């Protein structure tokens, strides 16, 4: 039987449409391991509340006007507003943070594995930047920000902020995930639990193994 040209076009369109509509949802936590036993099951994200029981406070958070305590080793504090604080953010793909910086304080090099970040500086002066991937030769994109300035950190890129002013700084940032996650580079590499073999890190960072052990003692649990 001869197949008409219009039927072929219809079949191709149906196949293309089905492939375009088929996709895996983006992860909303570090991992979601498959299990057959449904006892104690977790989902990618959160279960949904009965819509009839939803109330205004499910979409509300108060407190971003309060400065965070920057009296710590890095001199900064991140106040997070994600799905843990506002249940109504579930499935919305967005969250918010307030970042306070003491003079010379920093939000050290880190990455958000599940979200792009857009930051606006409210007070102070920040030096900010991110480093591109190996394929892009690890280029540094950096700027000095003043109040009202905005900077974007693409998803997964290692980035940082440093207060280079003499007064405290305040910034707010939106992230494109209800749970973007954060991996602080130094803590993850030198503070993993259990520790990565010092010999591995010594060769990777071209350091003496004893220096690696000192760093692991500093950042370790």
- Tell me, rounded to whole angstroms, the distance of Cα 94 from its chain centroid: 11
Cite the DSSP H helix spans in the chain.
5-21, 185-190, 198-205, 209-219
Q: How far apart, in whole angstroms, are the C-alpha atoms of residue 141 and residue 164?
A: 17
Peptide bond into 208 cis (omega under 30): no
- Tell me, rounded to whole angstroms, the distance of Cα 73 from its chain centroid: 21
pLDDT tens readout for residues 104-161 = 999 999 999 999 999 999 999 999 999 999 999 999 999 999 999 999 999 999 999 9
Q: Which residue has the higher pLDDT, 13 or 135?
A: 135
Number of residues in the chain? 221
In the chain, CATH 2.60.120.10 covers: 21-181
Which residues have a Cβ under 8 Å from the Cβ of 63 and sit 6 or more positions away? 79
Annotated binding residues, written as ranges, equal 107, 110, 112, 117, 159
pLDDT tens readout for residues 51-80 = 888 899 999 999 999 999 999 999 999 999
Annotated binding residues for Mn(2+), written as ranges, equal 110, 112, 117, 159
Q: How far apart, in whole angstroms, are the C-alpha atoms of residue 216 and residue 198?
A: 8
Q: How far apart, in whole angstroms, are the C-alpha atoms of residue 100 and residue 122?
A: 10
What rounded mean pLDDT belongs to the chain? 89
What burial letters (b/e) apply to 193-216, b meaning 16+ CB within 10 Å?
eebeebeebbeeeeeeeeebbebb
What is the assigned CATH class of domain 21-181? Answer: mainly beta
What's the mean pLDDT in 189-205?
97
User: Please, are residues 131 and 158 in contact by the beta-carbon 8 Å criterion?
Assistant: yes
Neighbours of 147 (CB within 10 A): 14
Annotated binding residues for oxalate, written as ranges, equal 107, 112, 117
Q: How far apart, in whole angstroms, are the C-alpha atoms of residue 121 and residue 50?
A: 38
Q: Is the pLDDT of residue 96 over 80?
A: yes
């Amino acid at each position: 039987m001869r197949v008409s040209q219009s039927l072929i076009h219809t079949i191709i369109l149906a196949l293309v449409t089905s492939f375009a509509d088929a996709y895996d949802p983006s992860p909303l936590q570090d991992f979601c391991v498959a299990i057959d036993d449904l006892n104690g099951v977790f989902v990618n994200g959160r279960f949904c509340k009965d819509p009839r029981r939803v109330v205004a406070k499910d979409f509300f958070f108060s407190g971003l006007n309060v400065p965070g305590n920057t009296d710590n080793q890095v001199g900064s504090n991140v106040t997070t507003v994600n799905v843990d604080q506002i249940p109504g953010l579930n499935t919305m793909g967005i969250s918010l943070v307030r970042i306070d910086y003491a003079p010379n304080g920093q939000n050290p090099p880190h990455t958000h594995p599940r979200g792009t970040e857009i930051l606006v500086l409210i007070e102070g002066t920040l030096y900010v930047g991110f480093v591109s991937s190996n394929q892009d030769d690890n280029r540094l994109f950096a700027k000095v920000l003043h109040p009202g300035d905005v900077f974007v950190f693409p998803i997964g890129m290692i980035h940082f902020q440093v207060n280079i002013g003499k007064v405290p700084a305040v910034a707010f940032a939106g992230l494109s995930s209800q749970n973007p996650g954060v991996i602080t580079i130094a803590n993850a590499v030198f503070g993993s639990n259990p520790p990565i073999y010092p010999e591995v890190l010594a060769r990777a960072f071209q350091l003496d193994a004893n220096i690696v052990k000192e760093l692991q003692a500093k950042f370790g649990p």
